[in-house]
Each structure stands twice: as C-alpha cells, then as structure tokens.
Amino acid sequence: MRIIDNVNDLLGDDLKREVKAGSKLRIAASTFSIFAFEALRKELERVEELEFIFTAPSFVPSSATDRLAKEWREFFIPPARIGESSLYGSEFEIRLRNKLTQRAIARECADWVRRKVKFRSNKTGAPMQQFAIVDDRAMYQPLQGFTSADLGYERGNAVSNMVTKLEVGEAPMTGQYVALFDQIWDNPDQLDDVTQAVYDHLASVYAENSPQRIYFLILYNLFAEFLEDISEDVLPNDLTGYQDTGIWKALYNFQRDAATGIINKLETYNGAILADSVGLGKTFTALAVIKYYELRNKSVLVLAPKKLAENWTNYNANLTTNIFAADRFNYDVLAHTDLLRTRGTSMGIPLDRVNWGNYDLVVIDESHNFRNADFTTEKETRYQRLMRQVIRAGVKTKVLMLSATPVNNHFTDLRNQLALAYEGDSAQLAGKLNISTSVEEVFRQAQRVFNEWSKLPAEERTPEAILSGLDFDFFELLDAVTIARSRKHIQAFYDTTDIGAFPQRLPPESVRSPLTDLGGVPSFSDMFASLSSLTLAVYAPLNYVFASRREKYEVLYGNLERGRNAMGGVVSNLGQASREKGIQKLMTVNLLKRLESSVEAFRLTLTKLENSVESAIGSIEKHAATVADLGSALGDLDADDDDLELPSFSVGGKVKIDLADMDVESCDLPRSSRTVGPLKMRVLLKVRPTCPCRVGDSLKNSKTSCAVR
C-alpha cells in the first residue's frame, strides 16, 4: 500500500505508469472532465476499454415530479447537475477553460468515448464508494472525481487530496474491489446506461451553435437568478382577457412592456412610478394597467391636476371622442385639490360621500405634486390626507404614479412619492429588496453624492462621475419600483417600425411678448415690482405686536420643546415670527403664479386680496375683531389651482392676537390697499376679464394679444 499525496507524487503521473496497452480501466467517481482525458490522452488511447460509473445521478431523466408544467418549458433551461456541468471543465479548471481549447479537446474525447468507453449512472441516489482500478494490478481510493484537479494537475479546494494505492502484492484486496465494481456494473436496478447522453453532451461542446441559441444562453446566464425568483403570482394573469381589450391593442410594443412591468411591480412592491419622457404615452400605458385591475373587479381612482382632468374623463364617459368606449372604463377621476375639500362636487362626484378607503388602485397623474410630505404642520396637507384617508384606510391600496419629472430639487421628492406605496413604513419595501440599509439611508447617501458631484468643476461633472459614486443599493431601489425611458432608449432597444421616427425637437426660441399692446399697461417687470412691494401684513401680525407683549405670543405659538408649542400645536424649529416672514414671501410668489395662469385668475385673486385688506382696515378702525378674523378671508384664495402653494397653516383660527397688543398705527395694511387698488385699475380694467389666454403662453405677435381695442 502506498500513499499518493498529490503534492510531491501525483495521481495522474502514477496512472501514466500503470496504464499499459490493452489495459482495462474501471472508475467510479462523481465527475468526469474532458481535461482529465487531455492530461492522460496518450495512455487512455491505448486502453482496451473504460467502464465509468457516475456515483451520483447524472445524465438521467428527471422523475415525473420534477418535470415542469407544459406552459413553462419554453421559458426554462434546466440547471445542469454537478456531474454534467463538469463534463467540459470543473470550477477548478478555469485556467484550462480560459485557453478556449474545449472544442478541440471535446471533439477528440467524443471520438474516444464512442470507441472505448461505457458510462453508467447511479440512479438510486444512494451513496457509493469512489475508486479506480487498472486491470487487476492497482486500485486507487478514495477519488472525488475524474478531473485534472483530482489527478493533481490543478489546484482544487480540498485542504488535502491524498489517495491510497493498493499494488500488485495486495492482489486479494484489489480483487475484492474488482468484484464489487462488476457486481454494481451488472445490476440494472442500480445503474442506467448514459453513454449516448455523455457523447451527446460532448458533441454539443464542439457543435456549431446558431447565434440565436448563443443569445438565449447568454440571456439565461445573465438573468437566471431573476427567473428563479419570479413568481406566477406577480405576473399579469392572461385569463383576465386584458390582452383582448381595445386599449391593450392600441399600445406600442414599448408601452406593453411598461404596462406588464408596472403590474409586476404593483403586485410585488405595492407601488410603481412610470417616469417615461414626455410624449411616450404614459396615459395610455396607465389606462392599460387600470383596465387590467378593473377586469379583476378592482376599484380605481385617478387623481389628476384639474387642468388635466379631461385627459382622463374622456375615456370613462360615453362620448364620441372616447376611442375606448368598448372597454367601458369605470374608474373615478378627482382633482389633486379635491383631497382637501369636504363639500360640493367634483367631476360629478359628491365629495362629502366619497368612500376614500375603498380604492384598490390609485393612479396619480403628475405625481410630483405630492413630493412634499411636511408632517410638522398643524393643518393637514393633501399629501397627508391622501396617506391617511386613501392609502392607509380601508382596503389595501396599490399606487401607480405618473411623472416625467419625479425629482424636482431633491431626492427627497422621490422618496416621499414612494412612501405612498409603502404607506410610510419603509421597512415594508426594504424587506423585499436586496439592499444593505434602510430606504431613507439610500436616498440620504444618494443626495450626498449628488451634492458633492454638483460642486465639481464643469469638466469633471460628468454622468460617469456621479454614476460611479452612487451606491448599488440606489440602483437596486430604482430598478425595483420605477420605469424611466427616454426616446433614445426606445429607438435603441425596440423595433420602431410601427412607431416611425420621433419628431425632431427644434431648438427653443425665446419669445418675450408683452401682456398687451395697449398703452398705459405696466410691463411684467413693473407688476413684479408692485407685487414685491406688498407687505401682506395680515399674514405677519407678530411684526406689529408691541415688544413688551411679543413674548406672550412666542410662548403660545412658538417652538418651546420638541417641536410643540403651549397650545399643543406641531411647529417647525423656526419661531412664529420667522414662519410668518416665509408665508409673506410665499404669498407673493403665489400672486405671480396667478398672473402666469391667466389674467382672469389674477384679477379674481387681486380682488379678493383688496377686499380682505379693506375688511381688515375696517376691523382695526372699529376695534371689532382679533387678528385671527382678519386673515380668515385669505384662507381659500384660489385653492383649487395645483400651482398655488397656499401655506400649510393660516393665521385665521390658529394665531389669535388681541388688537390691544398691536401697534395698529404702524400697520402696513393701508399701504397694501394703496398698492393693490391702482395695480388692478391700471392692468385689469384694460384687459378683457374673460380672456382665455395664459400669460405664460408664447404670443407670436402682438396682434393676437387679448387686449381690448
């Protein structure tokens, strides 16, 4: 008996010495590699016969219980067993595989197998000893496999790889192993003949494969892990018949892919953001998703800006302009601002009777309008109302968000929108993702990287620079819950024969038209200066409280401890006076937005403002009210407009200041009235009040302006 340590004395070298012309080899091992054949090619060509037993089931048909359902077979490439995958190189023969000589070796090995080798496989799955016998003269055991690593020519993963050799003088023991091998070899209940299967596998290595097969094999190896994780439960159910609907048939190929992906994300993560570029048909894609859920008897709500509501109401009504009338859409449509209303009707729906918690799917058009989740305010915002009354209340609600610009200024914008999908509990989403930290931390780190990148010199501020800085967790998160494609992406990865070429975008042309061509009307700059001069004193009452009385109101309404004041309200870290200054600036911006919206909207808002100021002056002169009553008239200035960002809390009803504590003589309300009145007279009385034009629209020539002649 001799020990072969496979360090100083190699098993392969010993086999070369023992194998003679006409020898018969018997091998029982778990694997067989063409590189072992290559290492012993000269000796193996001289043997008379090789009988090889795979000690574990290899190259045998799967049992009936292992077979895939018929409908799945065409999408599945079964993973090879260890014995089969090692046939053309094990994981420890990477150096040999990298030489790219497998095809030549496999061709020669296949020819040798056809002439001299028989393979059988242990079909029982029961453990079996592994050994090799050369004639009746030498026996080697234990063997791990018949690979170049087991022969000692390549490094394996075993700490030690010693093999015991029984030689000629120990013939009785060698004979017992020969008898054992022959007994197993001749038992059809234990072994299956797999010679042809092995030969076919070898032939496939050197066969000329079609480009299509290579392509599919590459796809499988790239996405095998994803395919293993995918569940039928999160894929669109074809039995609903959604593919037979008019909206589905109207979609282009890239829109169908988006709809399928959205359904998968909604079922997996409860929410998704479709952020395709403008003009790629997000509305139609969303309609296909809506129809899918309607066919599953789900209730759907669409929240859209009021100015875009007709984009949606056109398809759920019996109108001649409804090209999908046959699909009979049944979703509800409400405006974003309806979330803050409790009376009246909107789109024909009575708001006081809306069952907000009964919607299975909420589609939010222009979802970036819900990017601010300020939970430090006392007055409930529409974001908070959506979260509380629609998402969290009632049935489990899925959220589909549509926005070409989900991130406006900060990554927090995207985080807040995604929070609607996981009901504000980020652990729900993080538990379904392969990320190493929390969702909040992912966005925090991404924002830090972006801030650092934005400070780089222009020549260093490249897409590659920021992409290399972002963590993998950020891409994992975006890939899970967002679909964002550009026109270039569609042109690069989709067949655009049906679509045709996208229109070429012309370079922007700046057109600066005046509000009107009539004389005596101030320019935009003049109006901005006039609006900027407004003090809006009614929104900053603390500026006019006597210094000796100011502490009283800071105690009542300021930030005393942990973001709360003496009245129990939730406030930010700023004092009340600081917040009032912010409100003044915000309301000035809102007035400019009203001017941008339309002349008519600007007229209505200025009229309300003027009336409120006059009312406040009258109250002060009569000493008939508190300052809380003075601000109440401005609490609902055109609140239905999505662009109008009213303060999250108003003075009226929240901050009450006794007029006895105010220096009413220095109050600027009269000056505000003197500013608003002339401005309205100079501009608005000369411009047609019912004009539908938007000031922000580009007027191509002054003859099309809305001035009265």
Query: Quick one: pLDDT at residue 514?
Result: 72
- CATH code of residue 138: 3.30.870.10
The answer to whether residues 38 and 181 belong to one domain is yes
Q: Is the pLDDT of residue 298 over 70?
A: yes
* Residue 418 pLDDT exceeds 80: yes
Query: How far apart are the C-alpha atoms of 149 and 27, rounded to whole Å?
Result: 16
> In the prediction, which pLDDT does 402 show?
93
| Number of structural domains in the chain | 3
Contact 373, 386 (CB under 8 A): no
Identify the pLDDT of residue 382: 82
- Identify any residues that bridge with 122 across adjacent strands, giving them in sequence order: 191
More confident residue, 684 or 558: 558
Does residue 415 lie in a domain region?
yes
Q: Answer for the pair 307, 333: CB distance below 8 angstroms, yes or no.
A: no
Q: Are residues 178 and 243 in the same domain?
A: no
pLDDT at 401: 92
> Mean of the pLDDT values across residues 287-308?
92
* pLDDT of 88 strictly over 50: no
pLDDT-derived band of residue 565, with 50, 70 and 90 as boundaries?
very low
Same domain, 155 and 256: no
Rounded to an integer, what distance in angstroms lies between the CA atom of residue 32 and that of residue 37? 9
Q: Which residues of 110-119 are buried (b: 16+ CB within 10 A; e: fewer)?
A: bebbeeebeb
CA distance linking residue 680 with residue 176, whole number of Å: 113
Summarised one tens digit per residue, pLDDT across range 336-351 is: 888 888 888 888 889 8
Q: Can you read off the two tokens belonging to residue 645?
A: 């960002």
Instruction: Read off the tokens for 142.
Output: 């234990």
Average pLDDT over residues 495-511: 83
What's the pTM?
A: 0.57
Which of 189, 206, 223 delimits the end of a domain?
206
**d(Cα 103, Cα 207) in Å, to the nearest integer?**
8
**Between residues 206 and 108, the one the model is more confident about:** 108
Confidence label for 289 from pLDDT (cuts 50, 70 and 90): very high
N-terminal to C-terminal alpha carbon distance within the chain: 118
Say if 134 falls within a structural domain: yes
Evaluate whether residue 90 is within a structural domain.
Answer: yes
Clarify whether residues 543 and 650 are in a common domain. yes
Establish if 283 belongs to a structural domain: yes
How do residues 59-74 score in pLDDT, each as one tens digit? 554 333 333 333 333 3
The answer to the question of residue 472 being in a domain is no
For residue range 167-178, list pLDDT tens digits in order: 766 667 778 888
Same domain, 25 and 138: yes
Examine residue 587 and state whether it is found in any structural domain, yes or no: yes
- 8 Å CB contact between 255 and 281: yes
Which range has the top average pLDDT, 118-127, 280-289, 468-477?
280-289
Q: How far is CA 32 from the centre of its chain?
A: 44
**Is residue 124 located within the same domain as residue 169?**
yes
Q: Are residues 169 and 317 in the same domain?
A: no
Residue 72 forms part of a structural domain: no
CA atoms lying within 13 Å on the CB side of residue 123: 16
Q: Which domain holds residue 405?
A: 238-426+482-493
Backbone torsions φ then ψ of 400, nearest 5 degrees: -110, 120
Count how many Cα atoms sit within 13 Å of the Cα of residue 118 in the half-sphere of its side chain. 12
Asked if 385 and 262 sit in the same domain, the reply is yes
> Using CA atoms, how far apart are residues 145 and 36, in angstroms rounded to an integer?
10
pLDDT confidence of residue 666: 60
- Of 186-190, 228-232, 514-518, give the lowest mean pLDDT range: 228-232
In this predicted structure, the answer to whether residue 695 has a pLDDT above a threshold of 70 is: no
**What's the mean per-residue pLDDT of the chain?**
76
- Same domain for 576 and 677, yes or no, is yes
Report pLDDT for 423: 81
Look at 43-52, 145-154, 493-502, 599-608 and tell me which has the smallest mean pLDDT.
599-608
199's enclosing H/E stretch is helix 195-206
Q: pLDDT tens-digit profile of 194-252?
A: 888 888 888 877 676 778 888 888 888 887 766 666 666 666 777 788 889 999 999 99
- Please tell me whether residues 199 and 243 are part of one structural domain: no
Residue 499 inside a domain? The answer is: no
Of 471, 493, 515, the residue at which a domain comes to its end is: 493
Question: What's the burial of 280, exposed, middle or buried (CB within 10 Å: 0-12/13-18/19+)?
Answer: buried
Residue 489 and residue 528 share a domain: no
Q: Mean pLDDT, to the nearest integer, of 88-108?
A: 60
Q: Could you give phi then psi for residue 278, rounded to 5 degrees?
A: -60, 135
User: Are residues 363 and 250 part of one domain?
Assistant: yes
